[in-house]
Structure 1
């Protein structure tokens, strides 16, 4: 069986937290050994910590996401440091900058300041940081050049930046993690960018419950009880009796996930769809890419105190 590590997901998300036991088991049965679960605000760090205490496969990550910068408390940074003090197995994330439709509502100078503090903390702790970046790669690169390099690594999560910036980020210690969002790029652009990424810097992720891969319906796992899948839609699909989570044998009705509601939840087992797509773009086998990305992730996440130890 292939070994995979989901380098970035959100099993603590309220949309799927109650289903986490089933999601983890189903994904593990397909070969997913670990899940890097990223907190996004003070409100969910405790849920991430609880998941990590319950499941040996959950790597906790604590960070303040740019979308939640406005809601931070005066003591947010002290609280964050206390989470790291009490959770040696934790990495930093999700942090970042965003100039997209959601991010532009939040003061960018505040976003930069919050990111700077957290990147400095990651360096101080000698731990990798998982970074969200939307339409702000120039700003991120400038900040990383000012603070870097980052020997413990920086994960550019769901990377959709340009091929031209890959080398500059790599020099600073960046790894490039790919999710189903990659399928939103023009194939030629995705291929050009992927070919620029050093093989020892490639990671795979799901960003579940977001970033549902735009794959054939019958190849995807779905989250049981997903309210975005209406009765009418479910009537057009066949629910697998084995996993209770895969909708199959229906590609003649629903060709691919682009026909599903935008709110459809992503399952962490769908990392296999990301694997297949990235491997096809790189023109290597999925077995080669699975082992390569797994070893990259294990190396990156083998910091002191980590649950993932380099063999």
Structure 2
């Protein structure tokens, strides 16, 4: 069976936390061996820690996401450091910078300062860090150059930066992780960028419960109880795609027609695999093993739960 490593997800997200054991089991049945579960704020670090204690396949990651910088407590950095003291198996993440619609609500200089502190911590602990970047790749590259290189590695999660920046980030120790968001790029742009990524730096992720791949409906897994899906939509997504369904079976041909808040299931990493492999013109099996080995190599730091084999 194909082995896969979900290099970045949020199974502790309140929208799916109560379903996490079932989602993990379904994804494991589909070949996912490990899940790098990223905390985003002080309030969810404990959930990530407990999930990792319960599930050997969950690699915990702790970080303060740029969206939550305004809400941090005066003791946030001390609390973050304590997470790593109590959980040696953890990596750093999700951290980063954001100039998108939501990120613009948070002072950018504060975002940069919080990112710098966490990158320094990652270097000190000799752990990889999973980095979020929206419309701020030049800023991210600048701060990484000023602090780098990063021998323990940086995961540029859901990478949507330019092809031209790939070599610059690579020199600093970056890995490039791809999710369903990649399908939002024009195909020629996505292909050009993917072809620039060194084969030993490619990772796959779901970013679940976000980043639902824009794939054919009948190829996707859905989260049971997802309130964004009406009964009518559910009937169409759970029915087999056969001619007996009539015209209605073509109404929702792909996920772009679903509500934006539709939850992403971690088993949908196969849809990301399909898309990236087609762009790179290699087989799914080749890309699965390549990305799996890359993730294992990167995430086999001292104290990690990941087993190299």
Q: TM-score, normalised by structure 1?
A: 0.96
Where does residue 265 of structure 1 map in the other structure?
A: 263
Equivalent position SS for 2:96: strand
| Deviation at residue 254 of structure 1 after TM alignment | 1.5
Alignment of 1:238-253 (within 5 A): 238=238, 251-253=249-251
Separation (CA, whole Å) in 1 of partners of 2:262 and 2:177: 22
Instruction: Provide the aligned C-alpha RMSD in A.
Output: 1.0
Which of the two has greater helix per residue?
2
Separation (CA, whole Å) in 2 of partners of 1:284 and 1:124: 38
| Deviation at residue 86 of structure 1 after TM alignment | 0.3
Equivalent position SS for 1:228: coil
Equivalent position SS for 1:132: strand
- Once the two structures are superposed, what CA deviation does each residue of 1:229-273 show, in whole Å capped at 9, x if it has no partner? 01221233335xxxxxxx765753410000100000000000000
Where does residue 37 of structure 2 map in the other structure?
A: 37
Separation (CA, whole Å) in 1 of partners of 2:307 and 2:256: 38
Name the CA shift for 1:124/1:283 in 2 (closer, same or farther; >3 Å): same
Q: Number of matched residues?
A: 304
Separation (CA, whole Å) in 2 of partners of 1:295 and 1:101: 35
Where does residue 114 of structure 1 map in the other structure?
A: 114
Equivalent position SS for 1:298: helix
Where does residue 254 of structure 1 map in the other structure?
A: 252
Separation (CA, whole Å) in 2 of partners of 1:114 and 1:33: 32
Where does residue 183 of structure 2 map in the other structure?
A: 183
Structure 1: runs of 5+ lacking an equivalent: 240-246
Structure 2: runs of 5+ lacking an equivalent: none
Equivalent position SS for 1:223: coil
**Given that residues 69 and 111 in structure 1 are in contact (C-alpha distance below 8 angstroms), is that contact kept between their aligned partners in structure 2?**
yes
Where does residue 242 of structure 1 map in the other structure?
A: none
Where does residue 132 of structure 1 map in the other structure?
A: 132
Q: Does 1:223 align with 2:223?
A: yes
Separation (CA, whole Å) in 2 of partners of 1:19 and 1:309: 26
Separation (CA, whole Å) in 1 of partners of 2:130 and 2:40: 11
**Given that residues 40 and 62 in structure 1 are in contact (C-alpha distance below 8 angstroms), is that contact kept between their aligned partners in structure 2?**
yes
Where does residue 289 of structure 1 map in the other structure?
A: 287
Q: TM-score, normalised by structure 2?
A: 0.97
Alignment of 1:71-90 (within 5 A): 71-90=71-90
Separation (CA, whole Å) in 1 of partners of 2:149 and 2:237: 49
**Given that residues 219 and 248 in structure 1 are in contact (C-alpha distance below 8 angstroms), is that contact kept between their aligned partners in structure 2?**
no
